[in-house]
Structure 1
Amino acid sequence: MTGLATSPRVLKGGLVLLDPATGVPVQVITFQYNPDMLTRSLQVQGMGDAADRTEALRLKGPAVETIRVEAELDLTDALETGDAVALASGLHPQLAALEAMIQPTSRTLQTNDDLARIGTLEIVPAEAPLAVFVWGRGRVVPVRVTEFSVTEEAFDTALNPIRAKATLGLRVLTINDVGFGHRAGMLFMAHLRAREQQAGLARTGGLGAMGVEGLL
C-alpha cells in the first residue's frame, strides 16, 4: 500500500465563464496548479472624512474587494506523454482562453464595423461572459478582470511557450456595480450571506483576555 488512495482530493481553483442572461457555463478554466498565494484587498465604502459626525460609522455600500493570483502553467508532463495539442501548440490554447476574458470577439468587432459603415448612430458594446472566480466552495464570487499579464519562461523548438506564469487581477462585482437583479448581483449576495455565516463561527474571547473589564 502506497497510501495514495487515501490522500485527500485537492480541489482546483479557477474561473467559470457564464452566459449573463441564462447562467449557462460557457467555459470552465481551471488552474493547472493552484497558486500558492492569493492576495485580497478590501476598500471600505464609508461616508468619507468630510461626512457629518452622525454618519461617521455608516457604510454606504459593500467594500470594494480586489483579488490577485499568480497561476503557473507547465507542459512538461504533457510533452513527455506525447499530447498532440501540447506538441503542436504549446501553452497557446491555455493562454488564449485567459486572454479571451478581456477581448471582444472578432465577430463582435466585425459586426460593429459593419454597423458603423451603414451609419448606425449608436453601437452598444457587446456584453462579455460573466466571470466567476471559484476558490473552493467557500469562495464563489462574480468578478471583472482588471489585470492580466504573462511571463513566458520556456519555449519548444517551434517557439511555442511551454512554461509560463499568468498574473490575474480581479475585482469582485457587487450589487453597486450591477444591481440586485443581475446574475452577478445574485452571486454576490449569496457570497455575502455565506461570509456572514462564517463570521458567526469565529471564536471570540472576552474582554478579560485583553486585560480590561469594560470599555466605558
Structure 2
Amino acid sequence: MTYLRGALVEFMPTGLIPIPNIIVFQYNPESMSHAWTQPEAPAAGPNQTTTNPLAVKGNPGESFSFTLSLDAADSIADGVASAALAEVSGVYSRLAALEMLLYPASATTGGLLGSVTAAIGSAFGASGSSGVKRAVPANTVNTVLFVWGPGRIVPVRVTALNITERLYDGLLNPTKAEVQITLRVLTDDELKHDTDTLAGLANAANAYSQGLRQALAVANLINAGESILGMLPI
C-alpha cells in the first residue's frame, strides 16, 4: 500500500510562470489538532433590545496544529535526491523553507528568486518581458495550500511556527528538529482580497473541500437513520 505524505505548497507569483515551493513532510505527523471556532452573534442594533442567539457573522473559523519531525540522517541513509543537501546543511534547508512561509511576498519574490523566475519566463519565449518582475505588496504573504491527502486541500495562512533543534553537525547546522505548526484556513471572504492570478486556485481548493465535506455529511445520514430506528420503541 502506498502512503501519501502531507505537504505545504506556496505559490510565488513572480514573473510569468509561478514557481511552487513544495514542502513535502519528511514524516507525516502522528496526530493533528483540528479546531473550529464559531463567530459570536452580531450585536443588537440601535432599535433592537435583543439579538437572535443563533445568528452568526459568517462561516466558522478552522485551524490545524501539528508537529513535524525532521531528521537529516534518514535523508542521507535513504539516498534520496536531497541526500547531498542534507549532508552539507542538515535540515536547515527544510527549516528555512518553512520559515519563509511567514515572510511577506516581497521577501521571496523580490530577490534572487525573482530574477530566476523572470529568466525562466524568458526561456519559455515570453515576449518583451525579459528582466521584468511583478510588483508584489510588501504587506501580504503568498498563497499557501495545505495538502493532506486528496480529500483535504485548503488555502491557509501559517500563524505560528515553533522550532526545537535537537542535534547539530560540525558546522552547527541542525541535523534533527521538531517543528510545531499552526495553520488557519482562509475563508471565502478573506480570499476576496487576493487579487493575484493564483487566487482562483485557492478559491477552487476551498470549494472542493467544502463540497466534499457536505457530501460526507449527507452520507452520514445513513448512520443517523440506523441510530434513530434503534431508538424507536417499535
- TM-score of the superposed pair, with normalisation by structure 2: 0.71
1:192 to 194, 199, 210: 210
2:30 corresponding residue in structure 1: 36
- Cα distance in 1 between the residues matched to 2:191 and 2:108: 26
Given that 1:62 and 1:176 are in contact with CA atoms closer than 8 Å, whether structure 2 keeps it comes out as no
2:165 corresponding residue in structure 1: 152
- Superposed, 1:119-198 pairs within 5 Å as 124-125=137-138, 127-179=140-192, 182-183=199-200, 184-198=202-216
User: Given residue 90 of structure 1, which amino acid in structure 2 is its aligned partner?
Assistant: G
Aligned residues: 193
**Sequence identity percentage:** 31
**C-alpha offsets along residues 29-84 of structure 1, whole Å, 9 cap, x if unaligned?**
11000000110111113425869767333333111111101000011233446732
Equivalent position SS for 1:128: coil
- Cα distance in 2 between the residues matched to 1:54 and 1:210: 36
- Cα distance in 1 between the residues matched to 2:52 and 2:38: 14
Equivalent position SS for 2:75: helix
- Residues 46, 207 of structure 1: alpha-carbon distance in 2 compared, 3 angstrom cutoff: farther
- Residues 106, 33 of structure 1: alpha-carbon distance in 2 compared, 3 angstrom cutoff: closer
* Unmatched tracts of structure 1, length 5 or more: 1-7, 110-122
- Residues 81, 173 of structure 1: alpha-carbon distance in 2 compared, 3 angstrom cutoff: closer
* Unmatched tracts of structure 2, length 5 or more: 112-135
- Residues 169, 12 of structure 1: alpha-carbon distance in 2 compared, 3 angstrom cutoff: same
2:224 to 191, 204, 207: 204
1:60 to 57, 65, 87: 57
User: Given residue 28 of structure 1, which amino acid in structure 2 is its aligned partner?
Assistant: I
User: Given residue 91 of structure 1, which amino acid in structure 2 is its aligned partner?
Assistant: V
1:11 corresponding residue in structure 2: 4
Equivalent position SS for 1:55: coil
2:92 corresponding residue in structure 1: 92
User: Given residue 224 of structure 2, which amino acid in structure 1 is its aligned partner?
Assistant: T
Equivalent position SS for 1:204: helix
Given that 2:159 and 2:184 are in contact with CA atoms closer than 8 Å, whether structure 1 keeps it comes out as yes
Deviation at 1:108, TM superposition (A): 4.3
- Residues 173, 161 of structure 1: alpha-carbon distance in 2 compared, 3 angstrom cutoff: same
1:103 aligns with 2:103: yes
Deviation at 1:97, TM superposition (A): 0.6
User: Given residue 32 of structure 1, which amino acid in structure 2 is its aligned partner?
Assistant: Q
Deviation at 1:175, TM superposition (A): 1.1
**C-alpha offsets along residues 149-200 of structure 1, whole Å, 9 cap, x if unaligned?**
1101111222111110011110000112122984333322221111101111
- Residues 190, 106 of structure 1: alpha-carbon distance in 2 compared, 3 angstrom cutoff: closer
RMSD of aligned residue pairs (Cα, Å):
3.1
User: Given residue 204 of structure 1, which amino acid in structure 2 is its aligned partner?
Assistant: A
- Residues 81, 176 of structure 1: alpha-carbon distance in 2 compared, 3 angstrom cutoff: closer
1:120 corresponding residue in structure 2: none
User: Given residue 135 of structure 1, which amino acid in structure 2 is its aligned partner?
Assistant: W
Given that 1:173 and 1:185 are in contact with CA atoms closer than 8 Å, whether structure 2 keeps it comes out as no
Equivalent position SS for 1:159: coil
